[in-house]
């Protein structure tokens, strides 16, 4: 496939002009435009700064960095003063030092005696400068105002950040961090003169403002004004902690971060973004504050075996029985005492022997097709690889799947069909090269928050964002056009857009000619979708469709991002086909700033799929049905393999219900909350002859397990993870596993070996190397390349290159080398609203929580910020139903009903209900419809008919 790929051309920079100047008697040559401060830095001359931070736009407001420049009338702020040829600079002359010291004393006169920053992370920059200069503010105390004009208070209202206005020096760093880095625009200034303070929104307490707790402001604040609150244990100065470079365990953005670890306490104390990396040191609330679940007392520390008395199996705790009361109560977590009483602790030997024996018996008695495994997109590439190897080579079946089936299976199906590769064609930050970007079916600020910061930045710099979504996502605030289509009407909208493009001759003929096939079929289909035909279906006026089509047609570079709003439909594959066609027809693939980017939800969705956790494919999407491929894997694994593609997630659950799948291995998945029509799944799983669950907590699914194997959290192991960009990064262990919890890969190897299949690994790195040998896309990669910013696969030359940014520059990895148009017709959603169920239910996620909440609800800060289940409805619908904001409603579908609080909003359109699915006490998936897309086999999480009553 590499033939069809190309490296991004190195940017052809014009030769840079340079300037030569003298700093403290030394000569230095720097590119034109370099600040005096940076020029000094290149000579290792340290100039003290307060308002300046290399990640922020320089503003020059604090004057701490002043230097003497020969001939200049006054001292100059070096952070904003460009270096000029012939300049003579003195950074430490007597007058400079006198000025700095005076300034420092003036600032210190307003400070409290001790800095909150020094007391936590130990890095107050103002106090450090004062110490360096020997600044003594006491002589000024008598002349400064006794009480500030504005009450300079402490504000402890935010869950994660402590604000002390008294310590604020108005350096503007937090404002730039919030505006320019994160694009949240929460912080401003209130007042003028001496009474000025930073303020949140309309000067309300931080905790009630629109702040999204990303922590960027606290990470750049140089004083004790904005400091992180301790997450688990008290903060100690960073130089007392161990630093571990790792990757965020949560979403597909895969932010590179640095963990600060108290090794004695075996706790992570703080997490910080790191750079150089894809995320440029940015993090969201989950990455920055959500690490403590690993130290939660609920962690499993010993293997558990179900007691004889706990049969027949049924849910042990409130789950499955008392969702009825959607309030936050004891049932936010499974009742551990109750659940654990059904199990007895066992030794590893006993548990592993039992697992191996029962699985072997099941395989021999019921046959391999009666076995199945659910892996997880939260596990590493190595773990995913080993898991599918175990199911395939030891269980003897291809019944292995994971949660990607529930998120992007349809996107991948469409991509494989049309362009021959399921991965993104370019990285999320390539948006900086786009003049138009479509964001559709993605609530990016919640689900890919750090990617969203780059989208907002691009929008500020002129990229036109076209946001298309049934529920108004917050990123729409930054959009050129926000298009609120009707639920399930995607195909009609995109077909109409393509209709206009073709009608008005805006297509890229040369591209279509050279790189695609089946264009006539597309033309035939979209011919019928005039804007006038599509408008009543999608709810967008014909002229707006035309405007958008013309903008897309005129774009020099257009990039399409999409999420679950596209994929989780019975027509999910069709939706994705339309997006692919749209890019192809306008020639927007294979150049910087163009392409297709399905935003991956979980940290290793891409990697787990690459590693073959897919029932019809071996690693690297090599079909199991292909004889030559199978031969290759048989040889590599030394077994015979099943030539029949296996079952997908929902198909496996249905087979369990029918009794055709009888034994299952579940690693890190929680289908009891994550799967559609979950009651059916729960009932079915109780019938399993044998279920082993490998996890870090006793999940809802583990409650019906025969054996539970305690494994390690992200923070305790080494492994590689492939983010949404195809960026392979190395996660490193920061903590020791609790109790007897064991590394996941070791558990898998133990089980395989006890089932009679010897494994050749000396360590986890050997697993990676074997995986790489069988996966061309990862060719040449090894652990030593994957620290730092990681590598973008394919990466033929990892020693010298960061890997491939843009794919498909000169064709596609299909048989013909061309991409295929696959036109789609409108199919209605499977379950339309009726008189009895008049609303449309849409499920999704929140910023703070993640998947089934087993991790985030055990992360103190995340749980505190969003503690309880809720749903959202249009305020006008609530008024019509006579239901108050924040009251309880009962949501009922043809399958089940739950009670949950409702929030009034204008983001949800009339007739819609939105509900996040993380909350076990009001599990959204009791309601959802388990009908699946015929090609992608993805369930229709985004659309079912629901009734709403006051409750």
Size of the site for other proteins (CB under 8 A): 19
The nearer residue to ligand SF4, 281 or 805, going by C-beta atoms, is 281
Q: CA 2 to CA 353: how far, in whole Å?
A: 44
The nearer residue to ligand FES, 60 or 224, going by C-beta atoms, is 60
- Residue 51 binds ligand FES, judged by CB under 6 A: yes
Burial 357-369 (b: 16+ CB within 10 A, else e): ebbbebbeebebb
Which partner from the list other proteins, ligand SF4, ligand FES, none does 526 bind, CB cut-off 5 to 8 Å by kind? Answer: none
In the 3-class helix/strand/coil scheme, how is 449-477 assigned residue by residue? HHHHHHHHHHHHCCCEEEEECCCCCHHHH
Bridge partners of residue 707, in order along the sequence = 305, 692
Angstrom CA distances, 761 to 322, 733, 758, stand at: 46, 19, 9
Which partner from the list other proteins, ligand FES, ligand SF4, none does 255 bind, CB cut-off 5 to 8 Å by kind? Answer: ligand SF4
Residue appearing with tokens 């230097």: 67
Q: In this chain, which stretch among 182-190, 564-572, 613-621, 810-818 interacts with other proteins, using CB under 8 A?
A: 182-190
Q: In this chain, which stretch among 346-354, 446-454, 687-695, 745-753 interacts with ligand SF4, using CB under 6 A?
A: 446-454
Residues sharing a CB contact under 8 Å with residue 627, sequence separation 6 or more, in sequence order = 643
CB of 149 to ligand SF4, least distance (A): 24
Q: CA 714 to CA 733: how far, in whole Å?
A: 8
Nearest in space to 674 (alpha carbons), one of 407, 946, 366: 407
Question: Between helices 490-503 and 531-538, what is the axis angle to 10°?
Answer: 160
- Residue 201 binds other proteins, judged by CB under 8 A: yes
The nearer residue to ligand FES, 36 or 431, going by C-beta atoms, is 36
Among 19, 60, 323, 500, binds ligand FES (CB under 6 A): 60
CB of 147 to other proteins, least distance (A): 14
Among 28, 67, 214, 552, binds ligand SF4 (CB under 6 A): 214
CB of 150 to other proteins, least distance (A): 9
Angstrom CA distances, 106 to 100, 118, 135, 239, 640, stand at: 10, 19, 9, 29, 78
Residue with the CB atom nearest ligand SF4 in the bound state: 287
- Residue 567 binds other proteins, judged by CB under 8 A: no
- Residue 107 binds ligand FES, judged by CB under 6 A: no
**Cβ atoms within 10 Å, residue 16:** 10
CB 826 within 8 Å of CB 537: yes
Q: In this chain, which stretch among 56-64, 221-229, 780-788, 823-831 interacts with ligand FES, using CB under 6 A?
A: 56-64
And the tokens for 398? 């291809």
- Residue 377 binds ligand SF4, judged by CB under 6 A: no
And the tokens for 619? 């690693």
Burial 272-282 (b: 16+ CB within 10 A, else e): bbbeebbbbbb
Among 17, 192, 461, 815, binds other proteins (CB under 8 A): 192
Q: In this chain, which stretch among 47-55, 64-72, 174-182, 486-494 interacts with ligand SF4, using CB under 6 A?
A: 174-182
Q: In this chain, which stretch among 15-23, 54-62, 354-362, 389-397 interacts with ligand FES, using CB under 6 A?
A: 54-62
Which partner from the list ligand FES, ligand SF4, other proteins, none does 208 bind, CB cut-off 5 to 8 Å by kind? Answer: other proteins
- Residue 758 binds other proteins, judged by CB under 8 A: no
**Cβ atoms within 10 Å, residue 507:** 20
Q: CA 885 to CA 902: how far, in whole Å?
A: 6
Q: In this chain, which stretch among 448-456, 513-521, 581-589, 610-618 interacts with ligand SF4, using CB under 6 A?
A: 448-456
Which partner from the list ligand SF4, ligand FES, other proteins, none does 872 bind, CB cut-off 5 to 8 Å by kind? Answer: none
Q: CA 950 to CA 890: how far, in whole Å?
A: 6
Among 41, 260, 286, 363, binds ligand SF4 (CB under 6 A): 286
Among 213, 651, 706, 802, binds ligand SF4 (CB under 6 A): 213
**Cβ atoms within 10 Å, residue 207:** 17
CB of 172 to ligand SF4, least distance (A): 13
CA 933 to chain centre: 24
CB of 87 to ligand FES, least distance (A): 17
CB of 847 to ligand SF4, least distance (A): 9
Angstrom CA distances, 250 to 242, 378, 614, stand at: 22, 8, 21
Q: In this chain, which stretch among 63-71, 244-252, 380-388, 722-730 interacts with ligand FES, using CB under 6 A?
A: 63-71
And the tokens for 90? 């003195």
Contact pattern for ligand FES over residues 64 through 103, marking x by CB under 6 A: xx-----------x-x------------------------
CB of 151 to other proteins, least distance (A): 9
CB 425 within 8 Å of CB 590: yes
CB of 176 to ligand FES, least distance (A): 12
In the 3-class helix/strand/coil scheme, how is 53-68 assigned residue by residue? CCCCCCCCCCCCCEEE
The nearer residue to ligand SF4, 235 or 318, going by C-beta atoms, is 235
Size of the site for ligand FES (CB under 6 A): 12
Q: What is the DSSP string of 894-915?
A: SS-EEEEEEEEESSSPTTEEEE
- Residue 62 binds ligand FES, judged by CB under 6 A: yes
Bridge partners of residue 244, in order along the sequence = 259
Residues 471-530 that bind other proteins (CB under 8 A): 477
- Residue 789 binds ligand SF4, judged by CB under 6 A: no
CB 501 within 8 Å of CB 532: no
Q: CA 232 to CA 189: how far, in whole Å?
A: 32
Q: CA 444 to CA 38: how far, in whole Å?
A: 35
The nearer residue to ligand FES, 39 or 413, going by C-beta atoms, is 39
CB of 201 to other proteins, least distance (A): 4
**Cβ atoms within 10 Å, residue 180:** 17
Among 171, 244, 248, 662, binds ligand SF4 (CB under 6 A): 248
CB of 58 to ligand FES, least distance (A): 7
Supply φ then ψ for residue 416, to 5 degrees. Answer: -60, -40
Among 135, 283, 475, 540, binds ligand SF4 (CB under 6 A): 283
- Residue 710 binds ligand SF4, judged by CB under 6 A: no
CB of 781 to ligand SF4, least distance (A): 21
Among 212, 351, 540, 585, binds ligand SF4 (CB under 6 A): 212
Q: CA 82 to CA 40: how far, in whole Å?
A: 12
The nearer residue to ligand SF4, 306 or 858, going by C-beta atoms, is 858
| 736 secondary structure, DSSP code | P
Nearest in space to 526 (alpha carbons), one of 824, 247, 274: 824
Q: In this chain, which stretch among 60-68, 347-355, 658-666, 749-757 interacts with ligand FES, using CB under 6 A?
A: 60-68
Q: CA 807 to CA 559: how far, in whole Å?
A: 13
**Cβ atoms within 10 Å, residue 749:** 20
And the tokens for 367? 């046959």
Residue appearing with tokens 């496939």: 1
Which partner from the list ligand FES, other proteins, ligand SF4, none does 182 bind, CB cut-off 5 to 8 Å by kind? Answer: ligand SF4
Residue 11, burial from CB neighbour count under 10 angstroms (0-12, 13-18, 19+): exposed
CB 89 within 8 Å of CB 68: yes
CB of 596 to ligand SF4, least distance (A): 20
CB of 211 to other proteins, least distance (A): 10
Residues near ligand FES, by CB under 6 A: 49-52, 60-65, 77, 79
Residues near ligand SF4, by CB under 6 A: 177-178, 182, 184, 186-187, 211-217, 248, 250-251, 253-255, 279, 283-284, 286-287, 448-450
Residues near other proteins, by CB under 8 A: 179, 185-192, 199-205, 208, 210, 477
């Amino acid at each position: 496939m590499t033939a069809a790929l190309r490296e991004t051309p190195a940017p052809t920079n014009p030769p840079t002009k340079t300037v030569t100047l003298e700093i403290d008697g030394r000569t230095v040559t720097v590119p034109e435009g370099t600040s005096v401060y940076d020029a000094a830095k290149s000579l290792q001359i340290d100039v003290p700064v307060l308002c300046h931070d290399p990640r922020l736009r320089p503003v020059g407001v604090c004057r701490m960095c002043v230097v003497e420049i020969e001939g200049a009338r006054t001292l100059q702020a070096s952070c904003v003063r460009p270096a000029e040829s012939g300049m003579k600079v003195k950074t430490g002359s007597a007058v400079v030092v006198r000025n700095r010291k005076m300034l420092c004393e003036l600032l210190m006169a307003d400070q409290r005696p001790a800095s909150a920053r020094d007391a936590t992370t130990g890095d107050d920059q103002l106090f450090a400068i004062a110490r360096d200069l020997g600044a003594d503010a006491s002589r000024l105390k008598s002349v400064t105002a006794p009480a500030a004009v504005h009450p300079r208070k402490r504000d402890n209202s935010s869950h994660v950040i402590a604000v002390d206005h008294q310590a604020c020096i108005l350096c503007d760093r937090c404002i730039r961090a919030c505006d320019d880095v994160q694009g949240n625009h929460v912080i401003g200034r209130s007042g003028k003169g001496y009474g000025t303070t930073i303020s949140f929104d309309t000067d309300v307490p931080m905790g009630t403002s629109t702040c999204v707790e990303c922590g960027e402001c606290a990470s750049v604040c140089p004083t004790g004004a904005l400091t992180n609150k301790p997450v688990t244990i008290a903060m100690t100065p960073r130089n007392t902690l161990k630093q571990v470079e790792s990757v965020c365990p949560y979403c597909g953005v895969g932010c590179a971060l640095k963990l600060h670890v108290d090794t004695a306490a075996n706790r992570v104390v703080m997490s910080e973004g790191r750079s150089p990396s894809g995320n440029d040191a940015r993090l969201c609330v989950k990455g920055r504050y959500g690490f403590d679940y690993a130290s939660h007392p609920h962690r499993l520390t010993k293997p558990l075996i179900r007691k004889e008395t706990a049969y027949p199996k049924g849910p042990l705790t409130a789950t499955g029985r008392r969702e009825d009361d959607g309030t936050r109560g004891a049932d936010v977590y499974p009742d551990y005492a109750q659940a654990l009483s059904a199990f007895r602790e066992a030794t590893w030997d006993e548990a592993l022997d039992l697992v191996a024996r029962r699985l072997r018996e099941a395989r021999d008695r019921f046959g391999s097709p009666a076995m199945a495994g659910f892996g997880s997109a939260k596990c590493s590439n190595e773990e995913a690889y080993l898991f599918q190897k175990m199911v395939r080579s030891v269980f003897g079946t291809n019944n292995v799947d994971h949660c990607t089936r529930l998120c992007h299976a349809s996107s991948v199906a469409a991509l494989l069909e049309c362009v021959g590769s399921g991965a993104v064609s370019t990285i999320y930050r390539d948006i900086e090269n786009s003049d138009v970007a479509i964001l559709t079916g993605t609530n990016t600020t919640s689900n890919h928050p750090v990617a969203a910061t780059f989208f907002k930045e691009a929008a500020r710099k002129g990229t036109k964002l076209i946001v298309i979504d049934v529920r108004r996502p917050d990123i729409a605030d930054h959009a050129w056009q926000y298009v609120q289509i009707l639920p399930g009407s995607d195909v009609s909208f995109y077909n109409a857009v393509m209709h206009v493009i073709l009608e008005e001759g805006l297509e890229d003929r040369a591209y279509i000619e050279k790189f695609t096939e089946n264009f006539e079929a597309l033309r035939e289909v979209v011919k019928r979708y005039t804007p006038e035909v599509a408008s009543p279906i999608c709810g967008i006026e014909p002229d707006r469709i035309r405007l958008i089509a013309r903008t897309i047609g005129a774009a020099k570079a257009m990039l399409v991002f999409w999420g679950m709003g596209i994929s989780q439909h019975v027509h999910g594959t069709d939706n994705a086909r339309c997006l692919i066609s749209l890019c192809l027809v306008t020639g927007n693939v294979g150049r910087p700033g163009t392409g297709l980017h399905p935003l991956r939800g979980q940290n290793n969705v891409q990697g787990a799929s690459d590693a073959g956790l897919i029932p019809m494919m071996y690693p690297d999407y090599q079909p199991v049905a292909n004889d030559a491929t199978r031969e290759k894997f048989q040889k590599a694994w030394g077994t015979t393999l099943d030539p029949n593609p296996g079952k997908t997630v929902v198909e496996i659950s249905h087979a369990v219900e029918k009794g055709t799948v009888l034994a299952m291995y579940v690693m890190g998945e929680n289908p009891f909350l994550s799967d559609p029509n979950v009651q059916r799944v729960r009932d079915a799983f109780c019938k399993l002859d044998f279920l082993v669950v490998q996890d870090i907590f006793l999940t809802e699914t583990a409650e019906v397990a025969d054996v539970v194997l305690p494994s390690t959290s992200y923070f305790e192991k080494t492994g590689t993870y492939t983010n949404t960009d195809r960026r392979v990064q190395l996660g490193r262990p920061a903590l020791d596993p609790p109790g007897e919890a064991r590394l996941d890969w070791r558990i898998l190897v133990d089980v395989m070996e006890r089932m009679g299949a010897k494994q050749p690994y000396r360590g986890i790195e050997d697993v990676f190397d074997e995986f790489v040998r069988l996966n061309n896309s990862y060719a040449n990669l090894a652990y030593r390349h994957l620290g730092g910013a990681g590598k973008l696969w394919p990466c033929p030359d990892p020693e010298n290159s960061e890997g491939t940014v843009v794919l498909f520059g000169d064709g596609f990895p299909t048989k013909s080398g061309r991409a295929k148009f696959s036109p789609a017709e409108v199919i209605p959603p499977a379950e339309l609203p009726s008189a009895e169920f008049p609303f449309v239910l849409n499920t999704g996620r929140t910023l703070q929580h993640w998947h089934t909440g087993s991790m985030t609800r055990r992360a103190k800060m995340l749980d505190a910020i969003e503690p309880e289940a809720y749903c959202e409805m249009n305020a006008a619908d609530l008024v019509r139903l006579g239901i108050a904001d924040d009251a309880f409603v009962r949501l009922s579908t043809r399958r089940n009903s739950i009670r949950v609080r409702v929030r009034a909003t204008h983001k949800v359109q009339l007739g819609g209900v939105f509900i996040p699915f993380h909350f076990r006490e009001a599990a959204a998936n009791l309601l959802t419809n388990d009908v699946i897309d015929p090609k992608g086999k993805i369930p229709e999480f985004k659309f079912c008919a629901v009734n709403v009553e006051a409750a």
